Amino acid sequence: MTTHDFRYTLLSPQHTLTECRALAPGRYQVTGNGGAIQAGDTLLVTLKGSRDLSMSLVVEKVRHLINPPGQWLAVASGPVFRELAIHNWQVDCDGCGKRIDLEFAVDASLGKQAQPVAAELRLAELGWSSHEGKHWCPNCQERSA
């Protein structure tokens, strides 16, 4: 099982995604070029409309196309979004005042109440911590430890 990185920042003409679309919540059809994709492999793909968010898809089945050479079509499973929304918030560290432009994904069908939870999860992924409405950057966490 191999991980193939198809994020925008790493694209090369020999190793690209042509299309990634949802077939149903949690199931995706991915068309790409290069990479020798096989069932069981993981694909890292950038979320549409995002500058740096990505998701991980596990290939269930793949069909290698004869024409054009090197192209393939895969069905994969991944995160379940009924309606994907990307939000940008600014968060300030309560220790030093450092500001982060936070980009996070949330299922818009869950309503506005899901946004703070998704934002907190993304902050934690980036190494920040929060407690009772206060936020600390990684540097302030190290100083207080």
- Residue 35 pLDDT level (bands cut at 50, 70, 90): confident
- The closest alpha carbon to 59, from 2, 142, 116, belongs to 2
Does 77 score more than 80 pLDDT? Answer: yes
The whole model's pTM is what?
A: 0.79
Does 6 score more than 60 pLDDT? Answer: yes
- The closest alpha carbon to 125, from 104, 98, 95, 110, belongs to 104
- pLDDT tens figures, 52-66: 899 999 999 999 998
- pLDDT tens figures, 121-135: 999 999 999 888 899
Q: What mean pLDDT comes out for the span 83-97?
A: 93
**pLDDT score at 14:** 64
**pLDDT score at 142:** 76
**pLDDT score at 28:** 96
Look over the chain and give the mean of its residue pLDDT values, rounded to a whole number: 89
Report d(CA 25, CA 135) in Å as an integer: 32
- What pairing do the DSSP bridges indicate for beta strands 42-46 and 27-33? unpaired
**pLDDT score at 1:** 81
Contact 77, 68 (CB under 8 A): no
